[in-house]
Structure 1
């Protein structure tokens, strides 16, 4: 009996880890929240993730907050006069049956007035709460990484203040 329980636990363990960086609220799924480790004197840090909406109803991300920052804002990169600029947005639409990627050089969350820098080191995690118009709020754990995950733009936000 003990061997059967141990075998079952061993078989289920990979499934638990496979979803360790996925969070749900309503029909929305938020996957792979991450942030890149920056120097300790960086004035801001950015957070990234993917919002999946397999449902038939569109939603909207209306705001974000985190206890590690005095202020959290939704931002996007836009091309203006042959120059890539960053600007704050009030909300981000999440289409029904679609997804929205928060990534370097795209939508992202900017955390300003940083309070707890101890959580901004490689291997650490920090909470980020996403507020949706219909689905409600969900808190995700953002994984801090020395390098961006494979397949993402490697441009960091170290010179964010200069891009405005």
Structure 2
């Protein structure tokens, strides 16, 4: 009996270790026929803390984590090598802030489609975790607000200025 209890306890810890990072309310902004890039948005929580160090998707040739920030009165956008995920705190990827850029799209994305994303998270312990996400596509003109997340206006996609040295 003691061995069975120990095995069950070990399984419980293994299950927790596999689910250190969770993703809530993912979505991707739809595109028009000639558009070759769009954004993916979500809320990421890492139980132990770490960094989002990569994202991939079969729908795009290039996938990067981007930030938007004011620089001398100009809004600039560019890729970041890693996005800090403080332990137990939700990090919002949203229009106008950090987000995932899907570039060199292989086809237009329309409302009702689902985009598979694979997030790579490096924990504070140095171990890498992958999180599979299925993000629904929202219509291009749909509000950017997350369900139950309040209202905010949709931001049009535009050409990116890539920052050097980031």
Q: Given the alignment of the two structures, is residue 142 of structure 1 paired with residue 135 of structure 2, yes or no?
A: yes
| Structure 2 unmatched ranges of 5 or more | 1-17, 146-150
The alignment yields a C-alpha RMSD, in angstroms, of: 1.9
In 2, the alpha carbon distance for the partners of 1:153 and 1:129 equals: 27
| Structure 1 unmatched ranges of 5 or more | 1-24
User: Displacement of 1:59 after TM fit?
Assistant: 1.2
User: Displacement of 1:148 after TM fit?
Assistant: 3.0
- 2:159 maps to which residue? 160
Structure 1 moving runs of 4+ over 6 Å: none
Map 1:118-133 → 2, pairs under 5 A: 120-133=109-122
- 1:8 maps to which residue? none
Q: Given the alignment of the two structures, is residue 29 of structure 1 paired with residue 22 of structure 2, yes or no?
A: yes
User: Displacement of 1:97 after TM fit?
Assistant: 2.1
User: Displacement of 1:149 after TM fit?
Assistant: 4.4
Normalising by structure 2, we get a TM-score of: 0.75
- Count of residue pairs brought into register by the alignment: 135
Normalising by structure 1, we get a TM-score of: 0.75
In 2, the alpha carbon distance for the partners of 1:91 and 1:30 equals: 17
Residues 87-139 of structure 1: CA deviation (Å, up to 9, x unaligned): 1100101001211100001001111111133xx11111010110001350011
In 1, the alpha carbon distance for the partners of 2:63 and 2:86 equals: 23
